[in-house]
Amino acid sequence: MNVAVGMSGGVDSSVAALLLLKAGHNVSGVLMKIWPGPDAPAAARSACYGPDEAGDIQAARDVCARLGIPLHVIDCSGSYEDLVLRYFREGYLAGTTPNPCVRCNQLVKFGILPDAARRSGLEFDRFATGHYARVEHAAALGRFLLKRAVDIRKDQSYFLYRLSQAQLATVLFPLGELAKSRVRTIAREEGLPVHDRKESQDFYGGDLGDILGRDGREGDIVDRDGRVLGRHRGVAGYTIGQRKGLGIASLVPLYVVGIDAGTNRLVVGPENETFRRACMVLECVWGPYDDLPAPAEVRVKVRSGGRFVPATISPLDGGRTRVDFAEPVASVAPGQSAVFYDGETVVGGGIIETAD
């Protein structure tokens, strides 16, 4: 089988390519170039988007040379700007907290990249990545289901929940059954030059102000009663649940509990005011069915690093869903994704619109 592997220059995609090659497949590497330039040294935090991209490309070239497979570098920087960065900027300026990785996976990494690779003349049957997740075909449903990885600590199904049935039907996740420690061991034993390379910790390693811009629109920081407590440096620099960087002296720690982009105000309060019992979710997508047919009991995550919380999800008109948490949940941020699980299976998810 001909398989194109989305390479990143990291250990995970490199081992994914290695395992597919050992399984007897005809493997080619494809790498999406998303930084428009110029190049620069690495930032303090390793990230998937930044001026040190040339180092990632070279690392991928070294791995592909070691494996004896070709590497095709596809310039996706224009699409990434239009589909991901613009969405990211507009969301923050509107007072929400968008997740760029969720959007990138759906539209660019599993969309633009393989499509562009095919248009360039590369022929392949499946597209693989080094993500920690699994896909199974449910014959009774006639659908492909996204599932959590065996290594729960590295599971990335949250970031992949928006993949369509067409995308899931042709994707391979060779690392879904492996622990991260085993992946590192395989890379070392096979002499891959990236076996000890650090992994990306964020989507951008520098100051987010570089991407969001610095509009200088200062405004008031207020409490629930509207009492002015301080000044902020622009609502785009804050997120729900944030405590650090507020510059407010208080007897108790204060957190961002609301962002009103219309009035250019931040609302802050004590920790107990960060908790919510429900949220409204829009732009929902579903795994086992086209639309949620009836209320269902699930476990939900409202942030990639958040905990699972039991909840009831109920369908509403217009592709929206109400989520009622079984217990209060802190820092439910509009713009982030709420992802629903039934055991190991991703039931669906959507973008948080409001929380109450």
How do residues 335-345 score in pLDDT, each as one tens digit?
999 999 999 99
Paired residues of 46 in beta bridges = none
Beta strand extents in the chain (DSSP E only)? 2-6, 26-33, 47-49, 71-75, 126-128, 133-138, 143-148, 171-172, 202-204, 219-222, 228-232, 255-260, 265-269, 275-286, 296-301, 309-315, 321-330, 337-342, 345-355
Split at pLDDT 50, 70, 90, the class of 236 is confident
pTM metric for this prediction: 0.94
Longest dimension (CA), the chain: 67
pLDDT at residue number 156: 97
> Where do the domains of the chain lie, and which CATH numbers do they carry?
2-204 (3.40.50.620), 214-269 (2.30.30.280), 275-355 (2.40.30.10)
- Enumerate long-range contacts of 303-309, CB under 8 Å, 24 or more apart: 303/331, 303/333, 303/336, 304/99, 304/101, 304/158, 304/159, 308/341
Half-sphere exposure of 353 (CA within 13 A, CB side): 13
Average pLDDT over residues 93-116: 96
Q: Helix %, strand %, coil % for the chain, to 5? A: 30, 30, 40
Q: Alpha-carbon distance 301 to 20, whole Å?
A: 31
* Tokens representing residue 266 in the block: 């931040």
pLDDT at residue number 338: 98
Q: Alpha-carbon distance 157 to 145, whole Å?
A: 11
How do residues 34-62 score in pLDDT, each as one tens digit?
998 776 655 545 678 888 899 999 999 99
User: Beta strands 337-342 and 296-301: pairing type?
Assistant: antiparallel
pLDDT at residue number 213: 72
- Across the chain, what does the average pLDDT equal? 93
Helices 11-22 and 180-189: crossing angle in degrees, nearest 10, is: 70
How do residues 108-165 score in pLDDT, each as one tens digit?
999 999 999 999 999 999 999 999 999 999 999 999 999 999 999 999 999 999 999 9
User: What percentage of the chain exceeds 70 in pLDDT?
Assistant: 97
More confident residue, 93 or 117: 117
pLDDT at residue number 44: 47
Do 132 and 154 contact (CB within 8 A), yes or no? yes
Q: Alpha-carbon distance 58 to 13, whole Å?
A: 14
Q: Alpha-carbon distance 227 to 78, whole Å?
A: 44
Q: Alpha-carbon distance 317 to 324, whole Å?
A: 17
pLDDT at residue number 216: 64
